[in-house]
Amino acid sequence: MSESALDRRRRLLGPAYRLLYAEPLRPVRGEGVWLIEADGRRVLDAYNNVPSVGHCHPRVVEALARQAAALNTHTRYLHDAVLDYAERLLATCPPPISQAMFTCTGSEANDLALRIARCVTGGTGVVVTANAYHGVTAALAEMSPSLGAGVALGPHVRTVPAPRDPETFARDVAGAFDALAAAGVRPAALLFDTLFTSDGVFPDPPGLVAGACASARRAGALVIADEVQAGLGRTGTHMWGFARHGIVPDLVTAGKPLGAGHPVAAVMARPEHLAEFGARSRYFNTFGGSPVSAAVGLAVLDVIRDEGLIARAAASGALLRARLLALAARHGCLGAVRGAGLYLGVEVAAGPAAAARLVEGLRRRGVLVGLCGAAADVIKIRPPLVFGAGHAVLLADRMDEALSGDRLQ
Ligand code: PMP
């Protein structure tokens, strides 16, 4: 008998990779908000924020192909595309953030931001939220508690609960830096996801993080806004999640959606911080900031502007949120609905097992969503930004069917 794709994957890739869904997805094509399986089944993608402007957007594909056919080198040669991209990206940031460095992944961006923060402050201590995820490198795994108890946090890392209100969060962050100081660890950074997505999506109220940033700065730490999830218009009101909170971080990291599926990521910083870092260290990321990456990044920014995707995220997100609130009012197993724009979290009051069954029920009905939160009891909804009103209605209808038709508890 021939080996199944599942067995082959296990044999060749080993056990650390996890597949989503009891019935694994095997798409062969992507188009806008749709993933298409080999048998032609179309699945509504409300999970993937990486293809920010939609799967296989023709303008992104065209920009990539055109630049790949002309030249693909690196940041050790002069090339206008990377400068054009830096300029366009930085135009979305408030002063004094006015320089960009390019990487391939969000992890590399956070890793670089951490190195810069440590260089500038001379400290090593970092404060993160209790179920944060910031990346795959050894340094970031040590400050990503969502990886679980099997991955130890670093001795220079302290956690604070995800924010419920600005005052408590500010006090918690101050207390965490005090605890680091008491242990003889000098501060380097407060590092947070501006929507607290892996913690379970905690976006409100806008301004939530301002006091905590002040606490960090009083302690001598830099503020790193991790925009890998919230960035590039997803909140529906601002290009960046930090702007929604009315703060200006010291360092901004972004990845996933920048390249709509291609490895484009960046650190945006204040020139005086990069001057200190650059004086002590050189930085070269072989693939980061290549002409092809820059062409892709520029095309993504063009599509967001030309298709009005930030406003679309606001409109579709508001409609979806209203539908989800209506469902929560009728189905007792749902709890709070939180979110900003097209990043929504729906608490499943009935618990993690029911949440997992709801995700599977939606998958069987042709809709992809995920889970987040420390207890994995929050439904995570973050579709490509081209998600429209009809898609929002379809998602809510399918969720209603799953809640009514399946035994969740
Ligand atoms: N930060 C956050 C908030 C993330 O969600 C992720 C990825 N899930 C990362 C950093 C790491 O990005 P990457 O997977 O591109 O390395």
Nearest CA, atom 1, ligand 1:
134
C-beta neighbour count of 362 within 10 angstroms = 26
Of 306, 332, 358, the position where a domain reaches its end is 306
CA 409 to chain centre: 30
**Residues paired with residue 254 on neighbouring β-strands, in sequence order:** 266
First to last CA, the chain: 38
Q: Residues 6 or more apart from 49 whose CB is under 8 A from it?
A: 229, 234, 256, 257, 343, 382, 383, 384
Span from the CA of 271 to the centroid of ligand 1 (angstroms): 25
**CA 108 to chain centroid:** 14
Distance 403 CA to ligand 1 centre (A): 31
Number of domains comprising the chain: 2
Whole-number pLDDT of residue 409:
62
Atom of ligand 1 at shortest distance to CA of 108? Answer: 16
CA–centroid distance, 332 to ligand 1, in Å, is: 33
Examine the domain organization and report whether 170 and 254 are in the same domain: yes
Query: Which atom number of ligand 1 is nearest to the Cα of residue 132?
Result: 3
Predicted confidence pLDDT, tens digits, the chain (409 residues): 689 999 999 999 999 999 999 999 999 999 999 999 999 999 999 999 999 999 999 999 999 999 999 999 999 999 999 999 999 999 999 999 999 999 999 999 999 999 999 999 999 999 999 999 999 999 999 999 999 999 999 999 999 999 999 999 999 999 999 999 999 999 999 999 999 999 999 999 999 999 999 999 999 999 999 999 999 999 999 999 999 999 999 999 999 999 999 999 999 999 999 999 999 999 999 999 999 999 999 999 999 999 999 999 999 999 999 999 999 999 999 999 999 999 999 999 999 999 999 999 999 999 999 999 999 999 999 999 999 999 999 999 999 999 998 777 6
- Within this chain, do residues 149 and 254 fall inside the same structural domain, yes or no? yes
* Ligand 1 atom with least separation from CA of 107: 16
Check residue 407 and give its pLDDT: 72
Same domain, 30 and 145: no
Q: List, for residues 235-291, the tens digit of each pLDDT value.
A: 999 999 999 999 999 999 999 999 999 999 999 999 999 999 999 999 999 999 999
- Claim to verify: residue 291 and residue 317 sit in the same structural domain: no
**Nearest alpha carbon, ligand 1 atom 10:** 134
Taking phi first (over 0 means left), then psi (-120 to 50 degrees means alpha), and beta for anything else, what does residue 32 get? left
Boundary-marking domain end, from 276, 306, 336: 306
Pocket probe mutation, ligand 1, options 20, 107, 128, 267, max atoms within 8 Å of Cβ: 107
The range of the structural domain enclosing residue 227 comes to 58-306
Distance 226 CA to ligand 1 centre (A): 9
- Closest residue by Cα to atom 12, ligand 1, is 106
Integer-rounded Cα radius of gyration of the chain: 21
Query: Are residues 318 and 363 both part of a single domain?
Result: yes
Cα 253 to ligand 1 centroid, rounded to whole Å: 10
Mention every residue, 6+ apart, whose C-beta is less than 8 A from residue 269.
97, 99, 100, 101, 113, 116, 250, 251, 252
Of 301, 220, 361, the closest CA to residue 52 belongs to 301
Single residue among 306, 339, 374 that ends a domain in this structure: 306
- Is 354 found in the same domain as 290? no
- Give the residue among 246, 242, 244 at the shortest CA–CA distance from 254: 242
For residues 229 and 133, state if they share a domain: yes
pLDDT at residue 1, as a whole number: 61
Ligand 1, atom nearest to 256 Cα: 15
Regarding whether 165 and 40 lie in a shared domain, the answer is no
364 and 240, same domain (yes or no):
no
Q: Among the atoms of ligand 1, which is closest to the Cα of residue 255? A: 15
| Pick from 258, 261, 254, 255: nearest CA to 297 | 258
Residues with CB under 6 A from ligand 1: 105-107, 110, 133-136, 193, 226, 228-229, 255-256
331 alpha carbon – ligand 1 mean position (Å): 33
Tokens 């979290």 correspond to 345
Q: What pLDDT is recorded for position 55?
A: 98
Distance CA 125, CA 352 (A): 33
Q: Are residues 75 and 45 in the same domain?
A: no
Q: Is 198 exposed, middle or buried (0-12, 13-18, 19+ CB in 10 A)?
A: buried
Q: Both tokens of residue 319?
A: 């409609």
Alpha-carbon distance of 159 to 290, in angstroms, equals 36
Specify whether 158 is located in the same domain as 249: yes
What is the best residue among 47, 49, 129, 134 to mutate for testing ligand 1's pocket, by most ligand atoms within 8 Å of CB? 134
Question: Residue 224 sits in a domain of what CATH number?
Answer: 3.40.640.10
Ligand 1 mean position to 355 CA, how many Å?
Answer: 23
CA of 194 to the centre of ligand 1 (A): 13
Same domain? 241 vs 149: yes
**Considering only CA atoms, which of 231, 239, 228, 163 is closest in space to residue 202?**
163
Nearest to 346 by CA among 313, 315, 314, 323: 323
Taking the centre of ligand 1 as the mean of its atom positions, its distance from the CA of residue 278, in whole angstroms, is 25
Query: What's the CATH code of the domain at 315?
Result: 3.90.1150.10
* C-alpha 4 to ligand 1 mean position (Å): 30
